[in-house]
Amino acid sequence: MKHLWLPTALALLCACSDPPTPHSRPKESPRPDPAAEQPAAEQPPSALQSAQQGKGPGPLPQSDQEVGRRAAVYALLAGGDIAKNLPERASDPGTAFDSNLADDMTPAQERSSPH
């Protein structure tokens, strides 16, 4: 299975070598994945440092790939630009988001009053 967030992990772990899988983009989003373009300097340092030092959680032996992926997850869990810049998928591919759907599906007495 390809891991499209690996570019993020690799950006975080610039010292890592041997990219484990080819980079690719998600089919569902024509926009580039900004998370993959986050400079390492903007990533949470402690997660990065811990990952670089191989201090992932748990006693399981971890490959470089796993360390990178785990660090990327922690960087995402830390929040900030990585999360904010992810592509949105709130509707089906090829289907526009319908701003009026809630009103269409809500009984009149439950609808919000006009603002």
Partner 1 sequence: MNSTRRTRWLGAAAALSLLGALAGSLWQPAAAHACGIFAPKLAPEERPTLSREKVLIVHDAASGVEHFVREVVFDKAGDPFGFVVPTPSQPTVHAVETTPFTALRKAFPFRPQPRGKAARGLGKGAPPPSKGVQVLDVQRVGSFKAFVLAATDQSALATWLTDNGFDSPPEAQAWLEHYVQLGFYYVALRYEPPASDAAAGPVSMDAETLRITFDAPLPYYPYLEPRAPETPSEDPRLLEVWYVGAEPMVPVAVHTGDAGSAWVRPWRAGKRYPDARDRILGAAGTQLSGLLPEGSLQLQTFQDQKRRRDGFGDVVLVPETGGPLSPERREALATFVSVLDPSLPVAGEVER
- Residues engaged in binding partner 1 (CB under 8 A): 1-5, 21, 24-29, 33, 35, 44-47, 50, 55-60, 66, 69-70, 72-74, 76-84, 86-92, 95, 97-99, 101-102, 104-106, 109-113, 115
Structure tokens at 58: 């748990």
Decide whether 15 or 58 has the Cβ nearer to partner 1: 58
- Under a CB-based contact definition with an 8 Å cutoff, are residues 44 and 12 in contact? no
Q: Which is nearer to partner 1, 16 or 35 (CB)?
A: 35
Q: How far is the CB of 76 from partner 1 (least distance, A)?
A: 6
CA-based nearest residue to 67, from 115, 20, 114, 1: 20
| Residue number, 15 or 84, with CB nearest to partner 1 | 84
d(CA 37, CA 40): 9
Cα radius of gyration rounded to whole Å, the chain: 19
Which is nearer to partner 1, 14 or 89 (by Cβ)?
89
> How is residue 40 annotated by DSSP?
G
> How far is it, in rounded angstroms, from Cα 83 to Cα 96?
22
* Smallest gap from residue 114 Cβ to partner 1 (A): 9
